[in-house]
Structure 1
Amino acid sequence: MEVIAIQKSVLDGMKMELKALLELTENATRKYVPIFNKEKWLDNQEVCLMMGITKRTLQTYKDKGLLPYSKLNRKNYYKLSDVQALLGVGQPYNIKYNGFTDE
């Protein structure tokens, strides 16, 4: 085991910097907490598994405005209630007026 000795003032400075970094991180994420606490959010993979569709089909749903989404750090998230609503009306690819066919 290696032991490293540092001055107390240096250790205190490191502690203060870590506290400041933690505070910055908490402040940056605080605005997103209410969004995620109110409703369950799903990522691409979870939506595809839940709906039984491919990622390409999911992209088509997004492009056509059938499934709203939010982007956070270059990743898409979908409200569970929106996915359930889309499932409730039936799989969109079975509906001719959406431009999808089941062929």
Structure 2
Amino acid sequence: MEVIAIQKSAFDGMKNELKELLEMTEKVTRKYTPIFKAEKWLDNQEVCLMMNITKRTLQTYKDKGLLPYSKLNRKNYYKLTDVQALLEAGQPYNTDGNGFTDQ
């Protein structure tokens, strides 16, 4: 077992910095928790399966502004209500077997 000795002031400083980091993390978590609890969010794969579309078609929907999304840690999320609304409105593009869209 290895023992490392540091000054009490350095240890207290590290302790305070960790405490501040924990408080910042909790603050951010409190900020975003209601958003995720109030609404069911889906990722790309879930949306593609639900709508029976390819990833490329999903990208087209995003590019055209047909399906709103939010990005968190480089991953896209979609509100279930937005996906359902697009399904109810009818998918604006149909894909043929090779993945191209007919407009």
TM-score normalised by L of structure 1: 0.71
Q: Which amino acid aligns with 2:43?
A: D
Report the AA paired with residue 77 of structure 1.
Answer: Y
Can you give the 5+ residue segments of structure 2 that lack an aligned partner in the other structure? 95-100
- 2:102 is aligned with 1:101: yes
Task: Return the structure number with greater relative CO, CA threshold 8 A, min gap 6.
Answer: 2
Report SS of the residue matched to 1:78: strand
- 1:27 to partner: Cα distance: 2.5
Cα distance in 1, alignment partners of residues 28 and 89 from structure 2: 38
Percentage identity across paired residues of the two chains: 82
Larger relative strand fraction: 2
Q: Specify the code of the residue in structure 2 equivalent to 1:5.
A: A
Amino acid of the residue matched to residue 25 of structure 2?
T
In structure 1, the gaps of 5 or more residues are 95-99
SS in 2 for 1:31: helix
Query: What TM-score comes out, normalization by structure 2 length?
Result: 0.71
Please, what is the CA RMSD of the aligned residues? 2.5
Question: 2:60 and 2:67 mapped to 1: Cα distance?
Answer: 9
Deviations 1:47-103 (CA, angstroms, capped at 9, x unpaired): 123222222100111222321212334432210111122233444434xxxxx539x
Matched, 1:18 2:26: no
Question: Is 2:84 the counterpart of 1:80?
Answer: no
Runs of 4+ in 1 over 4 A off after TM superposition: none
